[in-house]
Amino acid sequence: MKKQMLMVSLAIWAVGVCAEKKEAEMEKAVFAAGCFWGVESIYQQMDGVIETTVGYIGGRTENPTYKEICYKDTGHAEAVEIVYDPSTVSYETLLDIFWRAHDPTTRNRQGPDVGSQYRSAIFYTSPGQKAAAEKVMVEAQKKWKRPIVTEIYPAAIFYPAEDYHQDYFFKKGIKKSCHFLRD
């Protein structure tokens, strides 16, 4: 009986260690490319993307609300925080989707959405992400006639948006995103 209990305890411990190791192997990416609902829906469909959270980043206000970022000068952008498995999808692939999912040449605007909360920005979490973002931006510029105005900043505190914004398209049964991927 003691041997069985020890074996069960060891098995539970091993599962916990494996889960912690797997979680430690995940990485985060944070992108702002206009309305966060559409950006989130694109990344949710990708292999290797484990989790997405929409929220606010890059501003001055602590714990901002959607109403505040829309009607006050908080400095925050609508963004998507992506937890991904780098053994399945690379950061460069996520960047490729970022550049294709919005117009990085319009300042503080995406389509009909206007305001600094809709700006184009990459919030890097490591020096490697910063270098990759800068490199890929040079390549992306070749596809645009106007200059890219995307901001590249170190990631600051990411504030998750209110619950009703999370998985918005899925909850509403919306099949078509307001964002589309360009070639």
The tally of domains found in the chain comes to 1
Residue 8 included in any domain: no
Q: What is the pLDDT of residue 10?
A: 47
Residue 97 included in any domain: yes
Residue 95 included in any domain: yes
Helix extents (H) in the chain = 2-25, 36-44, 66-71, 91-100, 127-141, 168-172
Q: What is the pLDDT of residue 19?
A: 47
Residue 12 included in any domain: no
Percent of the chain with pLDDT over 90: 61
Residues 156/57, Cβ–Cβ less than 8 Å: yes
Residue 16 included in any domain: no
Residues recorded for the chain: 183
Q: For the chain, give percent helix, strand, coil, nearest 5.
A: 40, 20, 40
DSSP string, 77-89: EEEEEEEE-TTTS
Amino acid letter for position 126: S
The sheet with strand 159-160 has its strands ordered as 151-154, 120-124, 27-33, 77-84, 49-57, 159-160
Residues 80/31, Cβ–Cβ less than 8 Å: yes
Residue 162 included in any domain: yes
| Domain containing residue 116 | 29-172
Confidence class for position 181, pLDDT limits 50, 70, 90: low
Q: What is the pLDDT of residues 22-63, one digit of tens each?
A: 556 899 999 999 888 889 989 998 999 999 999 999 999 999
DSSP 174: -
Residues 81/30, Cβ–Cβ less than 8 Å: yes
Alpha carbon distance 43, 93 (integer Å)? 11
Q: Does residue 76 have a pLDDT over 60? A: yes
We report the CATH number of the domain holding residue 161 as 3.30.1060.10
Residue 144 included in any domain: yes
Amino acid letter for position 134: E
Alpha carbon distance 134, 122 (integer Å)? 10
Q: Which residue has the higher pLDDT, 166 or 153?
A: 153
Q: What is the pLDDT of residue 74?
A: 93
Q: Which residues are catalytic?
A: 35
User: For 94-111, what is the mean pLDDT?
Assistant: 91
Q: Does residue 107 have a pLDDT over 80? A: yes
Q: Does residue 161 have a pLDDT over 50? A: yes
Q: What are phi and psi of 98, to 5 degrees?
A: -55, -50
Q: Does residue 121 have a pLDDT over 90? A: yes
